[in-house]
Amino acid sequence: MFQTHKEIQAAIGSGQTDLKSLVTTYLTNIESNRHLNAFLEVYGEEAMARAAELDGKTTGRGRLYGMVIAIKDNICYRGHKVSAGSRILEGFESIYSSTVVERLLAEDAIIIGRLNCDEFAMGSSNENSAYGPVLNARDNSRVPGGSSGGSAVAVQADMCLVSLGSDTGGSIRQPASFCGVVGFKPTYGRVSRWGLIAYASSFDQIGPLSHSVEDSALVMEIMAGADEYDSTASSKPVPSYSTEKFEKKARIAVLKNTVDHQGINTEVRSETERIIAKLKSEGHTIEEVNFDLTDYLIPVYYVLSTAEASSNLARFDGVHYGYRSPRATEMDSVYKLSRTEGFGREVKNRIMLGTFVLSAGYYDAYYSRAQKVRRMLSEQISEIFRSYDFILLPTAPSIAFKLGEKTSDPTEMYLADIYTVLANLVGVPAISLPLAKSAEGLPIGIQLMAEKHEDAKLFGFSKTLMQWSTLYP
């Protein structure tokens, strides 16, 4: 199966394949991997019709010609269902397309289906979907990570070339690590959120998952940029991510209390140390730097993100659109029963936590204080980037864990995001690269972060590091 867009373009150019044959192959793979539960809906006839249309296009082909993409079930696509993995939006059909979908289609991408995810992107294992868990293709007894687990598995099992996920606290990078693919979270505001069903608006970002850094960079090049529908989207010019190179020796910071954190798996620690040693042997400068806020990352993230979720999810009330309880008889019961029956347990937990921290008696004690710590985090990370090009740390503290292993302990599940939430809290770009594997052959992702709007530099350096990947030699 093709691993990169360049391979596909070369095969099309030589007559080895065409788009109809390519889409047919992906549809066959999707069918044979139905047990993984990655796709909630496959646009088979539509994808074949678009492939036939594009096969007849001999001139003026878009930059994504030959790229088959699947999208997470919280990204709107006009005339198609979108549910955010929740019963409360079951059967809802979007009346408009997200900005990212419009831009991908304009460059001749083919969208092949929508992908399973944790309900409203709340989860680290893809076990919270109303439509059942997604299974890791390398070991079906293990989770793929979350919330973009379906997006990671779709690429992992060659059911599409590239997928789109959303990253609120690591929801692209953590599943990328568990599934052995490249997962990229852009600088906050680099990609429009228009058409993304919100979880936490000051954290959410759409990003790509793929087998190669080059493909992620190309998709980012198409998606990024200002958008009149999203005032938070940056108006900075979009660099040529796909051609960017980083040819000098890098200065890389390793945050104290991360690689040697008590909660890290021994294989993840040893593989991270191996990558650090290899970087040093290549002449890069690696230094440990003080960072005394590690223990605050998860509490601050969950206080702030659940507060925003509490506000964002208030619209799902059984009145405006979506699920309405058939047992409701008057206004109060419409709200109570519709939300009780429509939302899953994890979403309810986070709404209640968010409502609590925003309440009059606790706002200053929790929400206001968490905002102050977020500002401190931003200041510390900006200070580090004055002296270093990148920050390196593991993507996740463990390899993919077993299904059901952490569901009884929410705190342990939340700690799966300990290395990824930092990038969302301070708005910097971050990438997970499949550079290592465990003794069992399970993927281990290594994460790199760069300063805000240094996405191009991050892509350039990542291309060099991917030459070391033990998963895709």
Q: Quick one: how far is CA 22 from the chain centroid?
A: 25
Q: Catalytic one among 147, 163, 166, 338?
A: 147
Dist CA 65 CA 242 (whole Å): 15
Q: Catalytic one among 171, 216, 398, 432?
A: 171
Tokens of 86: 């929740």
Which residue in this structure is represented by tokens 């990078």? 173
Residue 225 Ramachandran class (φ > 0 left, ψ -120 to 50 alpha, else beta) = left
Of residues 175, 194, 189, the one with CA closest to residue 136: 175
List phi, psi (to 5°) of 210.
-160, 180
**Beta-ladder partners of 430:** 185, 449
Pairing, β 443-449 against β 390-394: antiparallel
Sign of CA dihedral 401, 406, 407, 412: negative
Dist CA 264 CA 275 (whole Å): 16
**Residue 41: which residues within 8 A CB-CB, separation 6 or more?**
80, 81, 113, 114
Q: Quick one: how far is CA 153 from the chain centroid?
A: 12
Cβ atoms of 168 and 186 within 8 Å: the answer is no
Q: If DSSP codes are grouped into helix, strand and coil, which group holds residue 124? A: coil
Of residues 472, 463, 432, the one with CA closest to residue 151: 432
Dist CA 74 CA 146 (whole Å): 13
Whole-angstrom Cα Rg for the chain: 21
**Residue 435: which residues within 8 A CB-CB, separation 6 or more?**
271, 275, 444, 445, 446, 465, 466, 468, 469, 470
Cβ atoms of 259 and 272 within 8 Å: the answer is yes
Cβ atoms of 55 and 15 within 8 Å: the answer is no
**Beta-ladder partners of 237:** none
As separate numbers, helices (DSSP H) first and strands (DSSP E) second, the chain gives 15, 11
Q: Let me know if 171 is a catalytic residue.
A: yes
Residue 79 Ramachandran class (φ > 0 left, ψ -120 to 50 alpha, else beta) = left
Q: If DSSP codes are grouped into helix, strand and coil, which group holds residue 405? A: coil
Tokens of 279: 């970087």
Catalytic residues: 72, 147, 171
